[in-house]
Structure 1
Amino acid sequence: MDGDFFSFERLVAYFPKILSKFPISLYVVAVSTALALALGTVLAIIRIRKIPVLHQLAVVYISFVRGTPILIHLFLVYYGLPLLFNALFGYNIASGWNKLIFVFLAYGLNEAGFLAEHIRAAILSVPRGQTEAGHMVGLTRFQTFRRIVMPQAFRVLLPGLSAMVVGMLPATGLAYLLGVTDMMGMITTVSYSSQHSLEGYADAALIFISASFILERLSAVLIKKSSYGRKSVDGSI
């Protein structure tokens, strides 16, 4: 290691290599958000309808997720799921699955616990009279939920969902702990020969901050457009 504490030249040299792995972070966010929306909706419906046994299990699951760090979920999924599959089916998924799959599952399961409460609140915000009106015109329960409830609930959910996505982006930096070569993993690679990693972390910080800012701006525009012309129940805009 040379005596330079920080080198602008290394900062510039590392940047394109680290940036090349940024799509992996976006990929994790996109897939995990889709999983979280699906599972979160199921959990929310279970809680709203208070389905026996499942309701209690959903409450325990949500409490566990909200009370434990994502790092624990990553390790539980990565080490625990293969053991479970091997015990139940005699199949070793640890050797057959891409490590990104474990990352998707861990982040998806984690965010679903948080998103479930937002989805539940969003669904309950839709006036019950609109659901009853859907039934009166001949729509099934599922059709009423899909065509009437969810479009309105999604508008209410959007701010919370946007905040979750923005918060998840920097959190994806933990994926390298499972052996995924994302931006954080690339820092180790590019700094191996020089033994200087500070510049790599500075590059990653710059990328995460810039991407988060862009996502926040895009979210603000999307939220504004989704609420344009919409009035609340009391008549205010």
Structure 2
Amino acid sequence: MLNSLLLSLPFMTEARAALVIEAFWPMVKAAVLVSVPLALFSFLIGMVIAVAVALVRVTPVRGFGHRLLLFFVRFYISIIRGTPMLVQISVVFYGLPAIGIFIDPIPAAIIGFSLNIGAYASETVRAAIASVPKGQWEAGYTVGMTYMQTFRRIIAPQAFRVAVPPLSNTFIGLFKDTSLASVVTVTEMFRVAQQMANMSYDFLPIYIEAGMIYWCFCWVLFLIQAKVEKRMARYVVH
């Protein structure tokens, strides 16, 4: 039945239909076992970086050490936002060996993705924190809380609700960007698609199939995002 359905497409032949069917499970397997975990681990590490960077930027400046740290995080954000992710990953994997630092493909990809997400998500986190009224900070101080206690107990929960939608979009974008890991020889979904296409020298059906698989995974992530946002909205109401 599937073969008949594929053959109904205008550009499909028997050979292409067989190739598409053969490539399907290897690509899905690579997506589940490599692409999704790669995106998840990179996002979690990136969020740790993002929160740390955002706190440095929103905390009132105190002393030379803080000013120096603030300069460093601003420089970091500028570098990451001003260069392509492909270049960043390539520098980690192909560039660092020139100074004696050798990193395996998957850790190199995670480092590159995490640094990228950390810079971009820090702006989202910073904006979310800034969206909380200043009176909330003052309320924490009046009951004797320190800066960090006020942030953790009062500000962070409110900022989190604001940050969920854009951060969800960031994660979905990161899942698609894991295809860049193929450049550093990580056998994620797109690299499997490349390997299958290279063996057959027939790129069109395989790449279209890869795009459809990415779309299906993203569609599931969109549904999860919608449910999370709906639950957060109910929590805000109550």
TM-score range, shorter chain: 0.7 to 0.9
Which residue is equivalent to 1:133? 139
Deviation per residue, 1:110-137 (Å, 9 max, x gap): 1111111111111111122222322333
Normalising by structure 1, what TM-score? 0.84
AA in 2 matched with 1:144? T
- Choose from 70, 84, 88 the match for 1:55: 70
Are the counterparts in 1 of residues 90 and 183 from structure 2 also a CA contact under 8 Å?
A: no
Which residue is equivalent to 1:110? 116
1:15 paired with 2:24, answer: yes
How many residues are matched?
Answer: 220
> 3-state SS of the aligned residue for 1:68?
coil
> 3-state SS of the aligned residue for 1:180?
coil
Q: Indicate the RMSD between aligned Cα atoms, in angstroms.
A: 2.2
Are the counterparts in 2 of residues 11 and 199 from structure 1 also a CA contact under 8 Å?
A: yes
1:77 paired with 2:77, answer: no
Are the counterparts in 1 of residues 80 and 116 from structure 2 also a CA contact under 8 Å?
A: yes
Which residue is equivalent to 1:37? 47
* Higher deviation after alignment, 29-38 or 198-207: 198-207
After the TM superposition, which segments of 4 or more aligned residues of structure 1 sit over 4 Å from their partners?
none
Which structure 2 residues correspond to residues 117-196 of structure 1 after superposition, within 5 A? 117-196=123-202
Decide whether aligned partners of structure 1 residues 6 and 55 sit closer, same or farther in structure 2, where only a CA change above 3 A counts.
Answer: farther
Which residue is equivalent to 2:236? 230
> 3-state SS of the aligned residue for 1:230?
helix
- Structure with the bigger RCO (C-alpha within 8 Å, sep 6+) is 1
Which blocks of at least 5 consecutive residues in structure 2 are unaligned? Answer: 1-12
Are the counterparts in 1 of residues 81 and 120 from structure 2 also a CA contact under 8 Å?
A: yes
Are the counterparts in 1 of residues 92 and 108 from structure 2 also a CA contact under 8 Å?
A: yes
Q: Which has the higher helix share?
A: 2
Shift of 1:27: 0.9
Normalising by structure 2, what TM-score? 0.84
AA in 2 matched with 1:9? A
For 2:148 and 2:217, locate their aligned partners in 1 and report how far apart those are by CA, in whole Å: 37
Which residue is equivalent to 2:36? 26
AA in 2 matched with 1:131? W
* Aligned residues with identical type, % of pairs: 30
Are the counterparts in 2 of residues 71 and 174 from structure 1 also a CA contact under 8 Å?
A: yes
